[in-house]
Structure 1
Amino acid sequence: LPIPTLMVVDQDDAGITISGMKMLATSAAFCNDIWIGNLLPLAPDQVKQAVTCAIPCNVRGLTMWMRQPISLNAENQFDSPLTWNMDETDVLVMCDNVKVPWEKVFVMDDAILAREIYIKTPGHCYGNHQANVRFWSKMELITGLCSKVTKATGADQVPAVRETLGRIAALESTLSGMVHGQIEAAESWPEGYMTCNRRMMYAALNWCTENHSAIVDLLRELCGGGVFQMPASITVMHDKKLREDFEAYFQTPQMEAPDRMKLFKLAWDVVGSEFAGRQQQYEKFYAGASFIIRNHSFREAPWEHFDGVVDNLMSGYDIPEPKGARVAAE
């Protein structure tokens, strides 16, 4: 069987030829070109895999293997508001002797440089700063949903519920502070340029991947069984008798039936739908497995400073004299 890893299989005066597969090209089906590279470290002898290049999506030999779009299951935007227009297609890219001209080749035959173009430049920092901001926007949505759901059920004044709302508000503010900190403590790096603070950015990245499931669970707990109480589809509003029953029995003192359903359908697309399941997996792994994300923080941490704090404290005391030695000397 062939080795599936994408690599350079040939080269000539016109450029290189690549074969193999790469994952994961999110939204590649909507792109003009695909960037191929190596964010993960390569072994020094993986020179043929150490290629960074760009290829057009209609190049001969390229095929894109896409999972089934989740949005196909959405009947309308009201019942599936996020699924309807926010599903990102995930694509596995397969190259079968794809020709790449030299002007589209950026790194080749250098396993170290293939990764360092991201971490020795601001590229990885800016890309993941944007990811932090994206997650923060998502946090604002979830925080707002927590508030709206409890108001819709009349539970917003219950002390235990207010405690949970306070917790989600604190979590949102924590991430807000980390995002602002990356800007306020920006680094003069590389020389002559300013970059978001890398340590704070990677710390926020780790925080997001660690906490997403727990954050969604807070909304899940506040929703309770409310997400299961709604009709299968808002098309009940198209039938006179069903509409009358729906508006009469699904309303509450706090909210009319269609508005309740609209709110809980949105909440369900965050906590329980197929779209929500994809988001759960995506938020854990889009930046890599946990050990990869934490290794970024390990790499950027000022370990000499931390060691120095310990050494400075320990330098202030020494082995004590034996008890009674001072008295005997006198």
Structure 2
Amino acid sequence: MLKTAKQHLDSLRDGRVVYVGSERIDDVTTHAYFRNAAQTIAGLFDLKRDPAHGRFAVMEENGEAFSSYYLKARSREDLDKRYQTHKLIADASLGMFGRSPDHVSSFVTGMTLAKDVLGPYADNLDRYYEHLRKTDGYATYAVLSPQSSRNPEFYKLRNLTSPSLRVVRETDAGVVISGMKMLATGALFANEIWIGNILPLAPDQAAESITCAVPCNASGLALWARKPMEPNAPNDFEGPLSHRFDESDAMLICDEVLVPWERVFVHNSPDLARQIYVRTAAHAYGNHQSNVRFLSKLQFLVGLASRITQATGADQVPAVKEAIGRLAALEGMLGGTIQGQIHAAEDYPDGGWKCFNRRHVYAALNWCTETYSEIVDKVRELCGGGVFQMPANISVLEDEELAARFAANWDTPQLGHIERMKLFKLAWDIVGSEFAGRHQQYEKFYAGASFIVRNYSYVHADWGQLHGMVDGFMETYGVPGNAAEQPARVGA
């Protein structure tokens, strides 16, 4: 099935427990903190249903329609269809939603291509994939232990239990879990949470290796949200991005949550808890979506930077042209790398499947996490002091005398006063507001600490080919003075 926006909004009124500080939020679809982001997410479901996008966003099987981010690729054409779907969704949200509905769904889809890695829980994964696909479910995840749990000796000395989420007991009905996980980004607007471990676990952390899925309204589950940003933007003129694109981040807290056995995917296996992502196509499918999402965001930033320079009349200055040209080159480079993920696709895993080229996926992922702050800083430079020269808010138009003065003094040959203010408000919301600060921090650690991201490239590099180039060249020259060991030289 394909959900409508209304159906998705209705599905969020399910009794989930959400806290902002001490305030409990009963309905995220109507509360002033979250209602606009909820509407934005819901709109993505109607977007997929639009016939204009159907050839990308929808797949048909046995007379039923499904979201095409559940497509299991067997060809480059299938991979391109997935790309087009991700790009449609990312463009609609300007790349601001890191956990849009196509993200975790891609992890689950990619994992099913090598489901046997999950051993006795392989069939559970297949059934969960079908559940998400047939309900058009929106799943997000929480796959990191909280920072407070990283020194277990601290808790042992005090005879306390680490706050890290773990299985506390087994029952005939399933496992019971308690503890915390980070970071359930988007969970306030999702239907399900995938709980897992993207980082390696120690052998003695078997209880923490649980990988499972739970509905967001499960009994005993609570979401503690960070400070909402929508209140900083009373309307979309004053904070055009904050007003509608704050996907929210939350700590997942479980207190005796029962997980049925059919929703368990890894249990009592610390090594397997992480391997299910990298020994299947899950990580490549999911992070291809991440790369595409970042591309949309980068394209927005490059377009914004160019518009800013046009508004100030600096667009013809050679040094400014060079700066804009460099940003455009970065956008083109990332776009080309993403296309390379498709055109250099791998036959992976076994069984006739196609997977995005993992080396290109990880190279782009590393580049994105390293470069975002630099790109935003360049846009900040191009803004100059323009972001501070505008009136505090658009209420200046409510006073006839002030409005006339605003028009007389803020109009420029390039742009009228209201459009200039609109542009610079938008620029500030991505370079200097609290919303902007969250995105800089988020992108820097989107895929984990830098050493984790780079390790993916290290693991997947073709060292045989790279070392072979060095070794092969060294074989073309010998040891000075030892005529017997002088090789024939090509092109001498």
TM-score (norm 2): 0.64
How far does the alpha carbon of each residue in 1:33-87 deviate from its partner, in whole angstroms, 9 at most, with x for none?
2110111111223211111101112222111111110111112100100000001
Q: Distance in 2 between matches of 1:180 and 1:235?
A: 46
Residue 286 of structure 1: aligned partner: 446
> What stretches of structure 2 of length at least 5 have no aligned partner?
1-159, 484-492
* 2:187 aligns with one of 28, 32, 36: 28
State the AA in 1 paired with 2:330: L
Post-superposition shift, 1:322? 6.8
Residue 221 of structure 1: aligned partner: 381
Q: Distance in 2 between matches of 1:61 and 1:304?
A: 51
Q: Tell me, yes or no, if structure 1 residue 4 matches structure 2 residue 149.
A: no
Which stretch has the larger CA shift, 18-27 or 310-319?
310-319
How far does the alpha carbon of each residue in 1:102-159 deviate from its partner, in whole angstroms, 9 at most, with x for none?
0111111111211111111111111111111111101111111111111111111011
Q: Distance in 1 between matches of 2:482 and 2:338?
A: 54
Q: Tell me, yes or no, if structure 1 residue 71 matches structure 2 residue 230.
A: yes
Q: Tell me, yes or no, if structure 1 residue 208 matches structure 2 residue 375.
A: no
Q: CA RMSD in A?
A: 1.2
State the AA in 1 paired with 2:452: I
* 2:309 aligns with one of 147, 150, 155: 150
How far does the alpha carbon of each residue in 1:141-185 deviate from its partner, in whole angstroms, 9 at most, with x for none?
111111111111111101111111111111111111111111111
Which stretch has the larger CA shift, 108-117 or 148-157?
108-117
* 2:197 aligns with one of 13, 19, 38: 38
Residue 321 of structure 1: aligned partner: 481
* 1:188 aligns with one of 347, 368, 392: 347
Residue 177 of structure 1: aligned partner: 336
* 2:394 aligns with one of 201, 220, 234: 234
The alignment of Structure 1 onto Structure 2 pairs a total of residues equal to 323
Secondary structure of 2:179 counterpart? strand
Secondary structure of 2:244 counterpart? helix
Secondary structure of 1:93 counterpart? strand
Q: Give % identity.
A: 59
* 1:126 aligns with one of 274, 279, 285: 285
Residue 327 of structure 1: aligned partner: none
* 2:268 aligns with one of 109, 134, 144: 109
Residue 299 of structure 1: aligned partner: 459
Q: Tell me, yes or no, if structure 1 residue 61 matches structure 2 residue 220.
A: yes
Residue 129 of structure 2: aligned partner: none
> What stretches of structure 1 of length at least 5 have no aligned partner?
324-330
Q: Distance in 1 between matches of 2:342 and 2:330?
A: 19
Q: Distance in 1 between matches of 2:234 and 2:171?
A: 51
Q: Tell me, yes or no, if structure 1 residue 89 matches structure 2 residue 218.
A: no
Q: Distance in 1 between matches of 2:470 and 2:482?
A: 25
Post-superposition shift, 1:317? 2.1
Q: Distance in 1 between matches of 2:387 and 2:318?
A: 22
Secondary structure of 2:242 counterpart? helix
Decide whether aligned partners of structure 1 residues 145 and 288 sit closer, same or farther in structure 2, where only a CA change above 3 A counts: same
Post-superposition shift, 1:298? 0.6
State the AA in 1 paired with 2:430: V
* 1:252 aligns with one of 394, 405, 412: 412
State the AA in 2 paired with 1:81: P
Q: Distance in 2 between matches of 1:234 and 1:55?
A: 44
Q: Distance in 2 between matches of 1:322 and 1:177?
A: 48
Q: Distance in 2 between matches of 1:32 and 1:156?
A: 46
How far does the alpha carbon of each residue in 1:268-325 deviate from its partner, in whole angstroms, 9 at most, with x for none?
11110000000000000011010010011011111122111111111222222279xx
Residue 15 of structure 1: aligned partner: 174
Q: Distance in 1 between matches of 2:454 and 2:204?
A: 25
Q: Distance in 2 between matches of 1:238 and 1:160?
A: 40
Residue 39 of structure 2: aligned partner: none
How far does the alpha carbon of each residue in 1:186-222 deviate from its partner, in whole angstroms, 9 at most, with x for none?
1110121011110001000000111101101111111
Residue 206 of structure 2: aligned partner: 47
* 1:268 aligns with one of 414, 428, 433: 428
Q: Distance in 2 between matches of 1:238 and 1:229?
A: 19
Secondary structure of 1:49 counterpart? helix
Post-superposition shift, 1:238? 2.3
TM-score (norm 1): 0.96
State the AA in 2 paired with 1:90: D
Q: Distance in 1 between matches of 2:183 and 2:274?
A: 17
Secondary structure of 2:368 counterpart? helix
